[in-house]
Chains A and B, each alone.
Chain A
């Protein structure tokens, strides 16, 4: 795979397995700590958000991307540039809404779930929910308020893993005190 080749040239890359297993132990600890799957989903999203608001600075500094002009460009950069840089995958952008304010990211392989089988009693758990938080946090930092959620997950027996991203509104620059 291409990420194998990239690893030797970029010293910042770590073993994919180490990453996957670390994430796995994080999730299993959360499952122990919280009673409901819903709560675990919420915690994963929150952690992702905290990662996202920092990760985006790293992304912007390394990629030199500028502000996006429209949401389609945003989707493209997330899929082709962002996911590529941090997870070594390129999800497909599809299922655009008519208004152009919602799209889906479809993953044919999800590195977070490489060694995972979801037990039946955790049918509500969105195992990779951290990704939703990361996307939301990252986009909020570049002034886009979005809603991100899992709609399909192969771990739950769906044919594919699909994350929906919906644009809510543009966040404006903070106005200095005393100005309108």
Chain B
């Protein structure tokens, strides 16, 4: 089991934070372009999923899988979007993404008045805390499957 990378977007589509732990294949475009592409896809999937759903549901879009990786998505009521790519054998990580929001993002970004809310996060403290949380997760493994 492996965690590849994490994106955090604000409700205006700005990528507040990106980190990768294990990414073998680089996208071959600028990071800025990649963020826009990722946000655009998430945005489209959200509207696609809510329109195509044959029944009422609360949670909305939460993940998709390809043959080689799984993308997990979590959105807060305030429109923050957490996107994490993992290997296929990781089951739902809703609680972990919620933890990143409530115990790390709120604690070290929102409560830090020097962190501007609509700009990429520069706080070293947040980076360190997030990195050690991710590395401590049971499904974090630096080995490639």
List the B side residues contacting A61 at CB < 8 Å: 101-103, 105-106
B23 in the interface (beta carbon within 8 A)? no
Given A66-B77, A142-B78, A176-B40 contact (CB < 8 Å) = yes
Binding site for B on A (CB under 8 A): 53-54, 56-58, 60-62, 65-67, 141-143, 173-179
Top-7 shortest CB links A-B: A61-B102, A176-B40, A61-B106, A174-B12, A57-B110, A67-B77, A141-B78
Q: A62, B102: Cβ atoms under 8 Å?
A: yes
The answer on a CB contact under 8 Å between B44 and A60 is: no
**What is the minimal beta-carbon distance from A68 to any residue of chain B, in angstroms?**
8
Residue numbers in B under 8 Å from A66 (CB-CB): 58, 77
Residues of B within 8 A of A (CB): 11-13, 36, 39-40, 43-44, 58, 76-80, 101-103, 105-106, 110-111, 117
Asked if B77 and A53 sit within 8 Å, CB to CB, the answer is: no
In angstroms, Cα B61 to Cα A122, docked, is: 53
Bound-state Cα–Cα, A18 to B103, Å: 26
Q: Which residue of B lies closest to A138 (CB)?
A: B78
In the complex, what residues of B have CB within 8 A of residue A56's CB? 78
List, in ascending order, chain B residues with CB within 8 A of A58's CB: 106, 110-111
A176 surroundings in chain B (CB, below 8 A) = 13, 36, 39-40, 43
14 contacting pairs across A/B (C-beta < 8 A) = A53-B117, A54-B110, A54-B111, A57-B78, A57-B80, A57-B106, A61-B102, A66-B58, A67-B77, A141-B78, A143-B11, A174-B13, A175-B43, A176-B13
